[in-house]
Amino acid sequence: MVDIRYDVLGIGNAIVDVLAPAEDSFLAQHDLAKGGMMLIDADRADLLYGAMGSGTESSGGSAANTVAGVAALGGRACFVGKVCDDELGRIFAHDIRAIGVDFHSPPATSGAPTARCLIMVTPDAMRTMNTFLGACVELGPEDVDEDLVAASAITYLEGYLWDPPGAKEAFIKAMGAARAADRKVALSLSDSFCVDRHREEFLDLVEHHVDILFANEEEIISLYEVDSFDAAMQAVRGHCEIAALTRSEKGAVIVAGDEVHVIDAEPEAHVVDTTGAGDVYAAGFLTGLAEGRGLPECGRMAGIGAAEVISHMGARAEVDLKALMKTKLG
């Protein structure tokens, strides 16, 4: 049996997040659907990047944000994702390592440039995302080290990466390695549009391969094609060991077999930007599990992290998350 070196191994899209404030008029001028996520090509990415106001650039992508949160909480975290050997690829690698996440994936020396997500945040805190996927979707099974998976207590996968065939093979290889080593597999459904495209496959994953599921209310209702959250909650409860289901201002519900834990939302004075809220929620929850905490406390940790990240621009916490948890939880 391989010793556990990491609490959480994240596998997902390696994307540089470019985040900047924008007015509604900017969205209209560039024909951007407010609040949506659109995939764009390299030329469109260059055009929008040039037009955006000043902002921040950091390593991003859903699973990368989650393992960054795990590291911020004092957990041992590692990330697997594909970047190109270019300026943004070097920014990604330097940034994610600087925040305490191990990142060993070799950069591609040819092919598409490093992925970027251009995020415009309007004054009402709505985020409009335009993503050029570039190199990140070239992740393949050859990028997954089975010994690394075996050395990780939980392998966390993002639904966003289920599209490309090579990445799908990488996921399947990682899940198999985790199962063989008696480790846990966690999955985020990521977005309702992912669920709509891959419903049958996601249902199979949840029922047969995933131990811990993360989904918001819209995603879980879409997955089971039901009319209410309660119906979706009943459907998922027998399909995986733990389901952490978020409901925005209504808080969250944690379902584990016969257990149902309703977690109230953390009081938050002002929502500035919802970028990364679900990612940091998963970070808090998984770190709590790794520390051996009970499900209600894991849910509290998740909610505290998410509440902090929506109070400012960007997908990373601006305070010491570990200290914040100690203050809130004692």
Q: What is the span of the domain harbouring residue 309?
A: 6-329
Task: Convert the pLDDT of each residue in 25-49 to its tens digit.
Answer: 999 999 999 988 899 998 999 899 9
Residue type at position 130: N
Instruction: Tell whether 238 is covered by a domain.
Output: yes
| Structural domain includes residue 271 | yes
**Does 321 map to a domain?**
yes
pLDDT per residue as tens digits for the range 104-135: 999 999 999 999 999 999 999 888 999 999 99
pTM over 0.75: yes
The answer to whether residue 244 is domain-embedded is yes
Does any domain span residue 165? yes
What is the three-state SS of 34-77?
CCCEEECCHHHHHHHHHHCCCCEEEEECHHHHHHHHHHHCCCCE
Hey, what are 90's tokens? 């070097």
User: Does 1 fall in a domain?
Assistant: no
Q: What's the pLDDT score for residue 163?
A: 84
The domain that holds 108 is classified in CATH as 3.40.1190.20
- Residue 274 φ/ψ, nearest 5 degrees: -85, 5
Compute CA 327 distance to the chain's CA centroid, rounded to the nearest angstrom: 25
> How many domains, the chain?
1
In a domain, 80, yes or no: yes
Q: What pLDDT score does 267 carry? A: 84
Residues contacting residue 30 through CB under 8 Å, at least 6 positions apart = 48, 51
Separation between Cα atoms, residue 253 and residue 230, nearest integer Å: 10
- pLDDT band of residue 269 (cuts 50, 70, 90) is low
End-to-end CA distance of the chain: 35
Q: Under 8 Å CB-to-CB from 22, ≥6 apart: which residues? A: 52, 53, 120, 121, 122, 128
Is position 18 within any domain? yes
